Amino acid sequence: MLAAMLHGARDIRVESCAQPKPGPGMVLLRVRRAGICGSDSHYFARGDCGPFVPTRPFILGHEFTANVAALGEGVTAPVVGTRVTVNPARACGFCSYCSSGRRNLCRKTIMLGSASTKPPTDGAFAEYVTVRADQCHVLPAELDDTIGAMMEPLAVALHAVKRAGAVSGKHVLVMGGGPIGLLTAMTARAFGAVPVVLSDIVPARRKLALDFSADLALDPAVKHLSEQVSSLTGDGFDVILEASGARPALRQAFDLIRPGGTIVQIGTLGVEDVPLPANHLMLREIQLVGSFRYGNVFDEAIRLAASGRLNLRPLLTGLFPLAQTLDAMKQADDKTNALKVQIEVTAP
């Protein structure tokens, strides 16, 4: 098969490699469309992703739409030909986290397109990939391949909003106007938050936020931001969802949250410790909550997208064939103009 293989920083090559075979409990998927995630961009730009350093060349990609091509031993569903999207995080299914409904915290998770395992686990920038059958989620006809390949980042956003608790009627701030931030703002609005405000230091992203998902966009670098927030909300936001992964943004969240409010950390902040104003946590009873990957929300994300309450299509800002994966990765690197860049691996 053909696959886009990452050999190092800014070195990704479309080349021939062995097609995988589905083992017991697994399915072989023929990939149709794959999206480029921020972690894919990080691997491409640096050759690693934080603490995850590849021990060999490997295939990136974990946001995708595919057809079931073959079933491994013991698998009866989904049947061959079914169009699916995939939860790329394969939890063990047996530990205390998995058995208590928190599979996203499983310590034995295997992630597609990631060097978190040794050797790295190949992903979906390839004509074929194997996953466990229960990682597949059937896509309805009304969600085409473009939207199907956005279910993974939508699941990230949906899980984060659910971690905040009920947001209906609440003042919500989303920090960071990348794809996850925009999807989080869309989801918060769909769940009844009002107003939904987004902050980003890049003017173009603030404009996109107003076009796609936010009632108001703020520049977090202005001198009198606290006064702007006070005039809008009174004591501050009820909920802040930090999706930028920027340390100054997390610190700023403590100045913009109201007493008793909730801060949800979505963005990855790197490997070093981040100083936090612990007295604010105590004196104002602020809740600081982490949100990691998806929980168990993939099917809910699919239903939400199929309902028409979210318009995901404008997030697509680039589409390339597999042979031009290098060009796709370069476009995805443009943090000002690119949102969701996808690769058409095999035509429908």
∠ CA 102-291-180, rounded to 5°: 125
What fold is seen in the domain 2-150+312-344? Quinone Oxidoreductase; Chain A, domain 1 (3.90.180)
Q: What CA–CA distance (Å, rounded) separates 116 from 50?
A: 10
Identical fold between 2-150+312-344 and 157-290 = no
pLDDT at 212: 85
Residues in Cβ contact with 101 at an 8 Å cutoff, skipping those fewer than 6 apart = 296
337, pLDDT greater than 90: no
With cut-offs at 50, 70 and 90, classify the pLDDT of residue 137: very high
The predicted model gives 196-222 an average pLDDT of 94
CA-wise closest residue to 28 among 127, 151, 143: 127
pLDDT at 50: 82
pLDDT single digits (tens) 93-128? 999 999 999 999 999 999 999 999 999 999 999 999
pLDDT single digits (tens) 29-57? 999 999 999 999 999 999 999 889 999 99
Q: What CA–CA distance (Å, rounded) separates 339 from 33?
A: 16
The residue ranking higher by pLDDT, 295 or 301, is 301
The predicted model gives 14-19 an average pLDDT of 97
335, pLDDT greater than 90: no
Say if domain 157-290 classifies as CATH 3.40.50.720.
yes
255, pLDDT greater than 90: yes
Q: What CA–CA distance (Å, rounded) separates 176 from 194?
A: 18
pLDDT at 157: 98
CA of residue 93 relative to chain centroid, distance: 22
With cut-offs at 50, 70 and 90, classify the pLDDT of residue 191: very high
pLDDT at 31: 98
Tokens of 171: 């003042």
Tokens of 209: 């936020």
pLDDT at 320: 98
Amino acid at the residue 158? L
Domain residue ranges in the chain:
2-150+312-344, 157-290
